[in-house]
Structure 1
């Protein structure tokens, strides 16, 4: 029997994570006769860009309904009216939407009487990190948690996934710098980080949303991998058949870098992850481990995405 929390599901956004969530939710929804809708900006629905057209065609093929809306510019009350017909709303709209958006979406879900809301919290353990961290965006995530915990009309699920696995290899982030054949440790070599791929987050989020008995009013953890920066360097060496240069970025060094560019978001992230608080957890205690769901670790991600050793510059 389909839970009344799942008779109609609205997903906000169809970026990298949104598409991953939509694909997996659609697969689980189809045999249960569950209606799945995605909210997209009018400009996206009208776009003639090849990549947008491809995504829209895939969504339609999956049986997903397309709904126009502007999560950034529409008012909370307008969004509440959009959300109201849906039992479950899953937000895949991240920080790029701008400050205040996460709070507005949570308030709109509550005002609209949504039965269950899954906010954009696909990241670290904000409760442990606390307020006033180097990454000021995280305070809004705590505001969202406070809003949800303070009310009883809308159930909620927070899915904590750690960092996107690919972000470890993002050149601008600088942890794995393959062009320079270098791995940087944030904080120290025994500082740990938890990561999950967007594809796995999509699959696990769908499983969490459709879990029986229903999951409600709790933080659910996932992990594709939890490893120290020393283990990350070892993994890169083994997977790519090379020996990387290892450079430690100490917390004072990273804080000094941030003080010289206080608006640099990547530098803010480096400081938070270097401090190692709330950014890693034991994979054995995760939803995927408890349900015995296979996920992609860092070594496997490297093999699939960085198949051949790269020539350093």
Structure 2
């Protein structure tokens, strides 16, 4: 695979066009901002008016241009996007954010003449999943259908599951029981990428004017048996497999859980995480081909290293 230069050469004396970043005070967005600054990029971080998170001060101290903006105003967003080389969204939320706010941000980018847009996808390959199989991914599919109709060059970054979730939030590696829990096939390949690696790759892609519509990366592709080996190596204690049942069992559990909590404003209720695992275990959203080699300076963190660093 051809290697790509992250930073295109500038005209002598020219200042780099800024990268506009929405969602810069969230975990992933904060990391993307830092990676962009490390690469010498001019970062314009859009924050909601009144945002007093400590990340705002940190980014300002690192050299980012902090721009308080009304995310409900396309006019205000257009002004904030003026002169940018790329708009990157790391926004998190439900329909109001993923479809509504991102649509206003997209309209602003187009109105400001920004050439490129990176939406807040950062997930498994929802393009290969049937509609209705995952609420959060359906919202991303809906927004990207609008994005594809806009006169702007779009690039979605897909990274599988954040490896960091394996240390607690994702009920797969059960450290107390020394078990790796799963449904279905223990040999199904699964994609994992750390939040840090995803941020590095996104920063490089934001500075690369030649990106395609989709970029797919995985810090490590591992089956459940691979996770078992990684957990054993990371802890020095043998882990065993715990198969709860077939995918139909997980599907039934999802339906029951949704019935018990049918409406919620939580972005990640328990059944949403279960849906994500079900999607992964089917093998349908497996990322292929992988674009890891596009930016060879990135060192991809393996699952074992993440599990070993668990506190």
Distance 1:90 1:254 in 2: 35
Match of 1:69 in 2: 69
Match of 1:37 in 2: 44
Match of 2:206 in 1: 209
Q: 1:197-251, CA deviations, whole angstroms, 9 ceiling, x for partnerless residues?
A: 111111111222223xx22442112211111011101110121011224212421
Number of aligned pairs?
A: 286
The 8 Å contact of residues 194 and 279 in structure 1, kept in 2 or not, is answered as yes
Shift of 1:70: 4.6
Match of 1:199 in 2: 196
Match of 1:109 in 2: 109
The 8 Å contact of residues 5 and 116 in structure 1, kept in 2 or not, is answered as no
Match of 1:242 in 2: 237
Distance 2:97 2:168 in 1: 21
Q: What TM-score comes out, normalization by structure 1 length?
A: 0.81
Name whichever structure is richer in helix by fraction: 1
Shift of 1:43: 3.3
Name the stretch that deviates more: 11-20 or 181-190.
181-190
Distance 2:205 2:145 in 1: 22
Distance 1:298 1:5 in 2: 39
**1:26 has 2:37 as partner:** yes
| Alpha-carbon distance change, 241 to 60 in structure 1, aligned in 2, over 3 angstroms | same
| Alpha-carbon distance change, 20 to 110 in structure 1, aligned in 2, over 3 angstroms | same
| Alpha-carbon distance change, 297 to 5 in structure 1, aligned in 2, over 3 angstroms | farther
Match of 2:299 in 1: 294
Distance 1:70 1:274 in 2: 40
Distance 2:239 2:302 in 1: 20
Structure 1: runs of 5 or more not aligned: 307-313
Distance 1:105 1:275 in 2: 34
| Alpha-carbon distance change, 243 to 39 in structure 1, aligned in 2, over 3 angstroms | same
Match of 2:275 in 1: 268
Distance 2:15 2:210 in 1: 10
The 8 Å contact of residues 26 and 63 in structure 1, kept in 2 or not, is answered as yes
Where do residues 110-259 of structure 1 align in structure 2 (5 Å cutoff)?
110-133=110-133, 135-151=134-150, 153-171=151-169, 173-211=170-208, 214-249=209-244, 250-259=246-255
Q: 1:28-66, CA deviations, whole angstroms, 9 ceiling, x for partnerless residues?
A: 13xxxx53111112232xx3xxxx33x233212211011
Shift of 1:76: 4.6
Provide runs of 4+ in structure 1 moved above 4 Å. Answer: 3-6, 75-78, 96-99
Match of 1:86 in 2: 84
Q: What TM-score comes out, normalization by structure 2 length?
A: 0.82
Distance 1:108 1:275 in 2: 38
Match of 1:311 in 2: none
Shift of 1:5: 12
Shift of 1:112: 4.2
Distance 1:144 1:107 in 2: 12
Shift of 1:267: 2.3
The 8 Å contact of residues 166 and 197 in structure 1, kept in 2 or not, is answered as yes
Structure 2: runs of 5 or more not aligned: 1-8, 263-270
| Alpha-carbon distance change, 252 to 38 in structure 1, aligned in 2, over 3 angstroms | same
